[in-house]
Amino acid sequence: MRSLLLSLKLQRLSLSLLPSHISLSMISLNHRFSSHLISNSFSSSSSSSSSSPQPQVIQSPSRVGFLGLGIMGSHMALNLIQSGIDVTVWNRTNTKCQPLINLGAKYKSSPEEVTASCDVTFAMLADPQSALDVALGNHGAVNGMGPGKGYVDVSTVDGETSKLISGNIKSTGALFLEAPVSGSKKPAEDGQLIFLTAGDRDLYESVSPFFDIMGKSKFYLGDVGNGAAMKLIVNMIMGSMMASFSEGLLLSEKVGLDPNVLVQVVSQGAINAPMYSMKGSSMIQSLYPTAFPLKHQQKDLRLALGLAESVSQPTPIAAAANELYKVAKSHGLGDQDFSAVIESLKSRFQHSDDH
């Protein structure tokens, strides 16, 4: 076993020295070879272990599962497939799996079957309840987990939900990592997401090559719950910024300024954020092509406010923004981009004009 680990360390070092033009599919082949060796090593030593599940370090996993193929998950899984990774997919609406199957993905009919057939499984679900159902429900992912496997939840959920999933996964002897992402549809397409991870450090190290395919950076934040908290805080700030930006666009128009010029001014100043220039023009035209659904932004604000309340931290700005997103949802805008929050301000302004 010692010589095997030394061999793997040397292999990882040699991979790190490869020229940038070497394809990821070649690296993937090395991953598969390493995984085969480790799997055989685990098999030969498992007979001497105790009957209770024992966590095992996962070295260079070759078979990857992906649960949840929505706006984000479909592009994340696609990037893995296009990099030569052996990917098995599942989605509640199974028709969403077909485009990836056509590109080489395998398909299983339940989360349990995916985790049973894969070394590591990623899950990208819409909300805490969906994350719980997929992980712990009937034919859920936990039923296919065990020693030598890992579960990486990249959904945006609260810390308590993440800890509950983690506890159940780890009770099987598997490893768990929460890894919510910062970024929306375009960064997911371009492999430019930011992973905010917490949990088993060994699993973090094992799946880092996959993070590098799907994202531009990754942070390891310690214990389970810290990744969830960081993501909620980031999205709390983002939601508040978008609400304030919406106010600025409407106010500029009300006083006779060109809101398009406002976007240019903001984009060149200290308060610039990429989302202003990306979304400003379409917002002015009342167009909201969905990159990050408004209903998910409101969900994240709600969870962030709950987190703040749990530690007695006042968040009046986020609370006010949350009310605007709730109004927009009540107007039927939940599935449109979160920039549609501007419509809730329009309705208020129109109401005030009537008096």
Q: Which sequence positions are flagged as catalytic? A: 231
DSSP state of 109: S
Residues sharing a CB contact under 8 Å with residue 180, sequence separation 6 or more, in sequence order: 153, 154, 155, 156, 157, 195, 196, 227, 228, 230, 231
Roughly what angle, to the nearest 10 degrees, separates helices 226-254 and 259-267?
Answer: 140
CA distance 200 to 150: 9
CA angle 219, 220, 224 (to 5 degrees): 125
CA distance 129 to 337: 22
CA distance 345 to 326: 12
Task: Specify the amino acid at residue 282.
Answer: S
